[in-house]
């Protein structure tokens, strides 16, 4: 048997324990850095989305809103034009003639 085999085994186990503890500490530190990086990126994305929403709301108020109002007005005018055509077409023939040629008194 080799002399001091128990001391060599004890030194090996002690070194392995220290290496495992160091690996655990390094993995905890790297996980913390990963979470910090993720939190930083998410906060930057949220901040950018907030700024984009402000810019898009300003664009909506200044450019799109008047165009939507004009489009709504054109839709209402088109609907009224079609409704007047339907109402005129649905009146009886003699009423439409009396409207065209008013009676003179």
Ordered by start, the domain boundaries in the chain are: 12-99
Q: Give the pLDDT of residue 53.
A: 86
- Over the Cα atoms of the chain, what is R_g? 42
Whether residue 10 is predicted with pLDDT greater than 70 in this model: the reply is: yes
> Model pTM greater than 0.85?
no
The number of C-alpha atoms within 13 Å of 85 and in the hemisphere containing its C-beta is 6
Q: Give the pLDDT of residue 27.
A: 97
Q: Give the pLDDT of residue 98.
A: 64
Average pLDDT over residues 89-99: 66
Query: Which token pair is 40?
Result: 């930083």
Whether residue 104 is predicted with pLDDT greater than 70 in this model: the reply is: no
Average pLDDT over residues 7-22: 94
CB 88 within 8 A of CB 96: yes
Q: Give the pLDDT of residue 4.
A: 86
d(CA 90, CA 96): 10
Average pLDDT over residues 68-92: 87
Whether residue 105 is predicted with pLDDT greater than 60 in this model: the reply is: no
Whether residue 18 is predicted with pLDDT greater than 80 in this model: the reply is: yes
Average pLDDT over residues 37-47: 96
From residue 11, how far is each of 14, 23, 102 by CA, in Å? 5, 18, 121
């Amino acid at each position: 048997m080799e002399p001091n085999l128990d001391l060599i085994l004890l030194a090996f186990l002690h070194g392995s324990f220290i290496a495992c503890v160091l690996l655990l500490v390094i993995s905890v530190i790297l996980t913390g850095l990963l979470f910090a990086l993720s939190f930083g990126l998410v906060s930057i994305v949220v901040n950018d989305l907030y700024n984009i929403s402000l810019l898009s709301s300003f664009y909506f108020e200044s450019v799109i809103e008047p165009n939507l109002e004009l489009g709504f007005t054109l839709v209402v005018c088109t609907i009224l034009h079609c409704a007047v055509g339907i109402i005129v077409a649905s009146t009886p023939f003699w009423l439409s003639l009396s409207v065209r040629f008013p009676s003179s008194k």
